[in-house]
Amino acid sequence: MTGASQGIGKAILCNLARTRHFAIGLSRRKPEDLDDSMWRGLDLAKIADVIRCTSTLESTPVRALVLCAVDYGVGQRHPAATTSAEEWQRVINTNCVGHCILVSRLLPKLVANSPGIIINLSSDVALLPGAGRSAYAASKAGLHAMLRAVAAENSADSLRVYQLVPTFQLDTEGIRRRRPADFDFSSYADPAIIAEAVNKILSAQGSLPVPGTYLLRRDGTLDPHHETTQI
């Protein structure tokens, strides 16, 4: 899984470890409390590093891929007109291009362990206008669309793609960096809610939920989101 070093990704990795799933976390920084066998270094913004990382997994069977890494962009929300070329490139490379390459290179392994599972932590901005978050929105919508295409290319017997769209905000290190110092986080939820939902899907064995996009509610309920399939 990507985004293992903090926030929702770290909560998912710790939850999986507690329930004895073997998982490997990928991120640039290694969390201090994580065993070496559970972590590999990866910078998703660098294409060569994504290719190097997937090569190190050549002899490792992969049944599921959880996509959680994110670069939210510079500072607090700001309009497209004040988004620099460097920010567009870094955010879209990390959130979209890096993940697309990772997914495409690991697809044969996932399908070999059918049904392979991909769980993407998507976002409301992949479905709705994300004013003040244009680089983040473009990157999340790009990955969301790529995964819908991958799902359409593979039968549900060989690959199951789940895209989870949280309907509430979560208190993570990345979000804290985007808010003013005196911001009140009391209405923000614990990432453990997402970790439970992801674990439930990965533990479902023979009764996996129908693949697709789900709106993830604060009580852990997954409501199917019906995407446009024809125009």
Ligand X SMILES: NC(=O)c1ccc[n+]([C@@H]2O[C@H](COP(=O)([O-])OP(=O)(O)OC[C@H]3O[C@@H](n4cnc5c(N)ncnc54)[C@H](OP(=O)(O)O)[C@@H]3O)[C@@H](O)[C@H]2O)c1
Among 7, 116, 130, 211, binds ligand X (CB under 6 A): 7
By CB under 6 A, residue 130 contacts ligand X: no
By CB under 6 A, residue 116 contacts ligand X: no
Judged by CB under 6 A, the number of residues near ligand X is 31
- Min CB(7)–ligand X separation in Å: 2
By CB under 6 A, residue 6 contacts ligand X: yes
Q: Is 114 exposed, middle or buried (0-12, 13-18, 19+ CB in 10 A)?
A: middle
- Min CB(15)–ligand X separation in Å: 13
Joined together, the tokens standing for residue 93 give 């490379």
- Min CB(26)–ligand X separation in Å: 7
Under DSSP, the state recorded for 41 is: E
Binding segment for ligand X among 2-10, 107-115, 147-155, 221-229 (CB under 6 A)? 2-10
Query: Smaller CB distance to ligand X: residue 28 or 109?
Result: 28
What span, in angstroms and rounded, lies between the C-alpha atoms of 138 and 92? 7
Strands (E), 6-154: 25-27, 39-41, 64-67, 116-121
List 18's β-bridge partners, or say none: none
Are 163 and 223 spatial neighbours (Cβ–Cβ below 8 Å)? no
By CB under 6 A, residue 123 contacts ligand X: yes
Positive or negative: CA dihedral 12, 96, 86, 130: negative
- Min CB(230)–ligand X separation in Å: 27
**CB-based closest residue to ligand X:** 174
- Smallest CA-to-CA distance from 75 within 187, 184, 180 is with 180
| Ranges within 62-101 binding ligand X (CB under 6 A) | 68-72, 94
Are 19 and 203 spatial neighbours (Cβ–Cβ below 8 Å)? yes
| Ranges within 136-195 binding ligand X (CB under 6 A) | 140, 166, 169-170, 172-175
Joined together, the tokens standing for residue 12 give 């998912």
- Binding-site ranges for ligand X (CB under 6 A): 2-9, 27-29, 42-45, 68-72, 94, 121, 123, 140, 166, 169-170, 172-175
